[in-house]
Amino acid sequence: MGLSTLIACHECDLLQRRVPLAKAGVARCRRCDAVLYRGSSSEDLDRALAYTLGGLILFLIANAYPIVALEIQANRQAASLYDTVHALWIDGREDVSLLVAFTTLVTPSLEISLLLYLLIPLRFGRTPSETVAVLRFLQRVKPWSMMEVFLLGILVSLVKLEHLAHVEPGIALWAFGALIPILIAAAGAFNPEDIWTKIDQVA
Amino acid sequence: MNQRPMTARQLGLCACHTCGLLSKWERGHVDLTCPRCRSHLHLRKPDSIARTWAFLIASYLLFLPANLLPIMHTNSLFGAQSDTIMSGIVYLWVSGSWHLALVVFIASILVPSAKLLALTFLAVSVQKRSQWDPIQRTNMYRIVELVGRWSMLDIFVVSVLVALVQLQSLATIRAGHGAVAFGAVVVLTMFAAMEFDPRLIWDPQDDAS
């Protein structure tokens, strides 16, 4: 019996037979409805790479420019993403500063760069040497990337400040707004299952 | 399949946590690794319930300080003010942004407390090997995993405010101790959800059949 023709649901452990899927198809567990795997198409890789590159550019813009500026009586204060981490650190809240840095700077940049490390060579038909370790790491780190929550946080703070002062959205805010759908699209096009199958074929 | 549906465990197989590949499970063999990705293999997440409880208890301990201690201190020409999570929501509500007040209430109060209760319920039900509606409980687990991260909202609001409102004599905002406790609750409940193994919900029913 070939074990690779079977799949166990990761949420309820039910054993099921793998069937080939059309592109954009989704295989769900027949007992608990968990998503087992998705159908793949040859453009997946191109799309994932395009979205991730777009994400990289937007991420750089989102970090390089101020998110918002605040004006009270000719006093102007602008804050970039890094400034929020820095201000908490100076304030003596190193623990919160590290948490914010980890979830909005470290994890997203690791995610984007590691995806590119995998996708660029794969696009040219080569499998990068650390593929297995990188895939494992990406899976671990994914829940801690919280850009979309951060965007909502910015919006809430804008409303809070509106009553006190004149607030001006910065370039980075728009970059953030565009970054979130693009990261979701990249995650949707990136199909680790395909890479595992490739590794199987090489071995 | 014509036969009765079986789980991987019943057939002596285990799926890799990382790549999903099925391998033969050898009882008593501790150091099995996945032939494809070299991850350690476990039939179920190791000590799932004990670890979930550990993170849950720690979250409960920090839950009160997270909600009672101020998460930020404001100093302005109009005087000094300390805000807890709840008073921040009340402020949004009375200043006319009831929709944002609702969003923050859901993310900061409703989600964390519902998450703690749901995970406690799941841990207890699995420990008692309950067979009550596994689909319902699996869905509950999925929702807990999906929404947990949104509780970070208030931490990000505080961090943006602290960075922006540093206008020497006019107004300054500083983060309070509540922010530390609240951040810790979010992280700990995320760990608790990650350690929980939803397959344990289904095991008692599979053993009985």
Q: What is chain B's pLDDT, residue by residue, as a tens digit (209 residues)?
A: 446 778 888 888 888 888 888 888 877 777 788 888 888 888 888 889 999 999 999 999 999 999 999 999 888 877 888 889 899 899 888 888 888 899 899 999 999 999 999 999 999 999 998 888 889 999 999 999 989 889 999 999 999 989 888 776 678 888 889 999 999 999 999 999 999 999 999 988 888 87
To the nearest whole Å, the CA of B40 is away from the closest chain A CA by 11
The rounded mean pLDDT for chain A is 88
Question: So what's the pLDDT on residue B1?
Answer: 45
Residue B84 to residues A24, A200, B67, B97, B154, Cα–Cα distance (Å): 46, 54, 7, 18, 10
Res. A203 pLDDT band, cuts 50 70 90:
low
Count Cα neighbours of B26 within 13 Å in the Cβ-side half-sphere.
6
Question: So what's the pLDDT on residue A56?
Answer: 96
Residue B123 burial (C-beta neighbours within 10 Å; 0-12, 13-18, 19+): buried
pLDDT in tens, A37-93: 888 777 888 899 999 999 999 999 999 999 988 887 777 888 899 989 998 998 888
Question: So what's the pLDDT on residue A107?
Answer: 94
Note whether A34 and A28 are within 8 A (CB).
yes
**Cβ B157–A160 below 8 Å, yes or no?**
yes
Pairing of strands B79-83, B166-167: unpaired
**What gap in Å lies between CA B143 and CA B122, rounded to an integer?**
12
Q: Is pLDDT above 60 for A1?
A: no
**Count of Cβ atoms closer than 10 Å to residue B192 Cβ:** 26
**What gap in Å lies between CA B111 and CA B186, rounded to an integer?**
10
> A86, A90, A70, A89: which is closest to A78 by C-alpha?
A70
What ipTM, to 2 d.p.? 0.88
Q: Which of residues 35-74 of A touch B (CB under 8 A)?
A: 37, 67-68, 70, 72-73
Q: Which chain B residues are closer than 8 Å to A118 by Cβ?
A: none
Question: So what's the pLDDT on residue B169?
Answer: 66
**What gap in Å lies between CA B158 and CA B84, rounded to an integer?**
11
To the nearest whole Å, the CA of A31 is away from the closest chain B CA by 8
**Cβ A68–B180 below 8 Å, yes or no?**
no
Question: So what's the pLDDT on residue A195?
Answer: 82
**What gap in Å lies between CA B119 and CA B115, rounded to an integer?**
6
Instruction: For residue B15, list its beta bridge partners.
Output: B22
**Count of Cβ atoms closer than 10 Å to residue B1 Cβ:** 9
Q: Find the Cα–Cα–Cα–Cα dihedral B5, B6, B7, B11, rounded to 10°.
A: -160
Q: Is pLDDT above 90 for A114?
A: yes
Question: So what's the pLDDT on residue A89?
Answer: 92
Q: Which chain B residues are closer than 8 Å to A17 by Cβ?
A: 1
How far is Cα of residue B33 from the mean position of the Cα atoms in its chain? 28
Please state the pTM of the whole predicted model.
0.89
